[in-house]
Amino acid sequence: MTDLDLLIAGGTVVTPTGRRRLHVGVRDGAVVHLGPEAPSAARTVDAGGLLVLPGGVDTHVHLMDPGSPEREDFPTGTSAAAASGVTTIIEHSHGTPVRTVADLRDKTAYLRDRSNVDFGLAAHAWPGGSGEVAPLWAAGVSFFKVFTCTTHGVPGHDAARLHQHLTASAQAGAVSLLHCEDESLTEAAETLLRATGRSDGSVLPDWRSREAELVAAAVAGLLVRRTGARATVAHVSHPEVADYLMRERSRGAALHAEGCPQYFLLREEEALEQGALRKFTPPARARTDEDEAEMWRLLRAGVLTHMSSDHAPSTLEQKRAGDIWNVHFGLPGLDSTMSLLLDAAARGFLSYEDVVRVYSEVPARIYGLWPRKGALAVGADADILLVDPGDPRTLRSTDVLSKAGWTPFDGRQIRGRVVQTFLRGTLVAESGRPLDERTGRFVARAVGATG
């Protein structure tokens, strides 16, 4: 074997099925050696005492670039990603949706030299626009984002329009990410709540109710099964939704259920005190420690299939610029999601193998990026994290690299730190500091991938 560019020596390599002390050899950006021997390399990194994980794959990210750079842009958002241990994102922004192949080409060209991690791009499904599904899918979009309710200015799909989109998607072999809240229920609730004159955070759980999410998820799950399409239900907020989706899966639906940390770690009641800083939808539902433990159990069991951040940042000023009805939905999350998963492993709610499964392998598989992404294996891209699993620290808003500049997890004491992040064998972040090399590349979905 000719010399390696990089050897990561003596660490404990974690895969979804186990962990072993192995040396990892990298050449030309790819993993070419994984074994007990240590071949010579131009550069050797001592990973003794550290875990070696594949880079995180966060498939639900909004970086508002182009569109609303005052909220986030690709350089800042992907700095946060690299520093936190995420080496691949799939991005879509509601303000500047990709609706045609020309939009995809323009956005890909615009983002050249703007990303610190590798990225795929998703398209937006538009009611009545199912004719765009096949060409966009052939052009390499990672998935289609579909709303069941009009949100962030994107029109919702009723059952008929959703059926039309999923039928076209099944024919094309395309995968969709479904935002599930029933429009008639959220609208009726809003009318009632506004009539009472309420405009504080306490409206959130009533406005964006559990029933609204359940009804939309049940309809979506049924239509996914009946059309034979493939889809993920986005940001599943509570166990009853996950349970409904599991039932459709057991009947043959090709359905995935996405979790996000805010549904495991933030409480419903926080909306009362925090108002717009807890305005995301669906909102947090957990009320007790048992509710949180149940979400982790569902994730361990694969009922919730994978994790994402749903990174949708606004600055504190932007969050305070209006009342609860008109400030932006969304939370920053790219800075914290990997940290919170590593902490869940340190606390025993997950194994490190689970972390690799839910935040690397499964999302990469669903969206056609595996095994190039989401795997630490010979032939995969050398997207690698060195993790100190025991290191105690406190999450701080002042450390946030996203333009949001804050985190809902400020003050939370956690264990586990990503010490180094490698993207295709190049160091892109160290000890929470991104190197901002802008070496991230567009990664099209693998042709013919079916997840």
Contact 94, 124 (CB under 8 A): yes
Residue 133 burial (C-beta neighbours within 10 Å; 0-12, 13-18, 19+): buried
Stretch that binds Zn ion, among 13-21, 166-174, 279-287, 310-318 (CB under 5 A): 310-318
Closer CB to Zn ion, residue 9 or residue 331? 331
Tell me: does residue 213 bind Zn ion (CB under 5 A): no
Q: How far apart are the first and last CA of the chain?
A: 33
Show the binding pattern over residues 381-400: x = contacts Zn ion (CB under 5 A), - = does not. Answer: --------------------
User: What is the smallest separation between the CB atom of 135 and Zn ion, expressed in angstroms?
Assistant: 24
Beta carbon nearer to Zn ion, 310 or 335 = 310
Find the shortest distance in angstroms from Cβ 161 to Zn ion.
19
Interaction between residue 310 and Zn ion (CB under 5 A)? yes
Q: For residues 242 and 382, which CB has a smaller minimum distance to Zn ion in the complex?
A: 242
Of 132 and 310, the one with the shorter C-beta distance to Zn ion is 310
Q: How far is the CB of 56 from Zn ion (least distance, A)?
A: 17
**Residue number with CB closer to Zn ion (91 or 383):** 91
Number of amino acids touching Zn ion (CB under 5 A): 1
The answer to whether the beta carbons of residues 382 and 6 sit under 8 Å apart is yes
| Binding characters for Zn ion, 255-294, by CB under 5 A (x = yes) | ----------------------------------------
Q: How far apart are CA 179 and CA 187, in angstroms?
A: 16
DSSP annotation string for 59-78: EEE---TTT-TTT--HHHHH
Q: Bridge partners of 58?
A: 89
**Which of these ranges, 101-109, 279-287, 303-311, 379-387, lies near Zn ion under the rule CB under 5 A?**
303-311
- How much of the chain is helix, strand and coil, in % rounded to 5? 35, 25, 40
Question: What crossing angle do the helices spanning 239-250 and 210-227 adopt, rounded to 10°?
Answer: 10
C-beta closer to Zn ion: residue 6 or 220 = 220
Query: In angstroms, rounded to a whole number, what is the distance separating the alpha carbons of residues 237 and 447?
Result: 32
Residue 263 tokens, joined:
């549904």
The distance of closest approach from Cβ of residue 331 to Zn ion in the complex, given in angstroms and rounded to an integer, is: 10
Is 58 an interacting residue with respect to Zn ion (CB under 5 A)?
A: no
Please give the Cα distance from 230 to 353 (Å, whole number): 26
* Between 74 and 422, CB nearer to Zn ion: 74
Q: How far is the CB of 140 from Zn ion (least distance, A)?
A: 21
Q: Is the preceding peptide bond at 261 cis, omega within 30 degrees of 0?
A: no
Nearest residue to the partner Zn ion, using Cβ: 310
Residue 308 CA, distance from chain mean position: 3
In the complex, minimum distance from the CB of residue 235 to Zn ion, in angstroms, rounded to a whole number: 7
Output the smallest distance, CB 177 to Zn ion, in A.
8
The residue (of 63 and 341) whose beta carbon lies closer to Zn ion is 63
- CA distances 76 to 39, 54, 351, Å, are 37, 22, 30
Residues that bind Zn ion (CB under 5 A): 310
